Structure 1
């Protein structure tokens, strides 16, 4: 119900703001078109003026630069010696946003099918139960409502492991599967359980030892040193995760100072400290090579461990993979309506100018 009200409020506020903007603002004449059919980068005409109304210094700057930019507004010399002031649309309208939402889910289907297929092999081979036994002493204390050996333990472990390696696309299917498993234990299906809240907060804090995705994005953007985010990212996500654990534990009345919990936190702290010391000793190229090989190597290790485990248990590995992959496809399709709804509401807020009004006053 709360989400329904928030979603409705987003839409109502966006349309009301757009209506006010259409009446009072220079760029409001096309605001409704921007909200529905507009695309990121579209030109929004603000005003035209005769060049004779501008001072000589301004015209000299304009002639020199060809395009003057002041914040979001841009000015060029137009036909018949006119000055055209415009800005570019910063977000897609409803139509493009719907297509984007579906495209995102289609791109996700491949990853979902692959990793859910592997999860199916691991489940049949007993790998999830094995992971649950390893992580069980820790998880049983911060997730006291989850029965011992429940599959959700393994799913959450795989999700956290993928996040640790900075593999966002791999973490997504594991996270969805973990939430589905936790929902099976939830007595009130319309309200998130304590275990789901704890998992969501720990997942959102995003503890990352190897920020592969961020490094790749910085490299693609031609950052001077794409690797300089490595240590700050580790420290920031570690602090965020510990803070999330403490806050949620306090709210849920979980004793965070149990020896097992402190032992796991201490062990993880030692690993991060060791990584920081080692990475500080490497040059930029060596750090990039180390992070790429470690994350990719661990993923391949998980692949071969699951397949070998399935063969050892004498299960039909490929059949198990296909069955799990089908579930991944279905899950990716099921999230399309939710994604479309939320992205459209956010798009309306952005294209209506509601965000600008909130930020700029």
Structure 2
């Protein structure tokens, strides 16, 4: 038996329970992990309420699909991993089938990556959702080149901060936006070449000034809604606005029609490329080498213990964090 987090009804953070559960042995292609740390994601709050693309299949259900740990046992057909191996779990599987919140978890071996000795468990749990999302957007879709300017909105999120680091590694120029003046210094410290405080600055004017009047070659937007019109004015001719979130909660117009400004707008999700083995292998190499070299360091906002998972989700939903919320697993002596 292991302590795992499950919910028996849909709802807020209060429905999460830490309880004993027998996970059983890993099946073909699966691995049983001793979990060490878990990276929390806003989408997990949506899943807990059955408001995510991947719907809850049955109750009770588990939660979580990004973290780190050590291999305890491998199922039939698994190669490349052995008991004791330190690994990170990539968020590339259906969250309705496998869950990571707990002392142990059964996950697909295809979702694992070896964790280098230089990478501790918390870092290994906080890296992959953010950096995979940023990698797919900036490298595989936008194909940023050295010297390109990219606007990164809501940039104090874990994905936004990862995107700044990926842009810098590619030689691009990150322009970060935030609504809060209090977060401006944090973004400059994170490597943003320019910071636009949208509650104070005119977004388009500030980006045009930062780019010498041309506009940014690319935009990585987590907000959507009416502000896309301003982003279009800030985008260079034939530039691309890649929308990966809808924090505004408002309808998004087709921008540029009033001026017939040639800007491409398209949605983006992490899952566009995680099912492509070649692309995922490139991402694993790019991110792992970045971690080892020190080019990539996930920003950790706060760490909770597994026993405090309700409080961790309450903090996650408050949305005030800068970077990643991580849960560490402290085992009881009786855990197996």
The bucket for the TM-score relative to the shorter chain is under 0.3
TM-score (norm 2): 0.26
Larger of the two Rg values belongs to structure: 1
Identify the structure with the greater strand proportion.
2
TM-score (norm 1): 0.25
Identify the structure with the greater helix proportion.
1
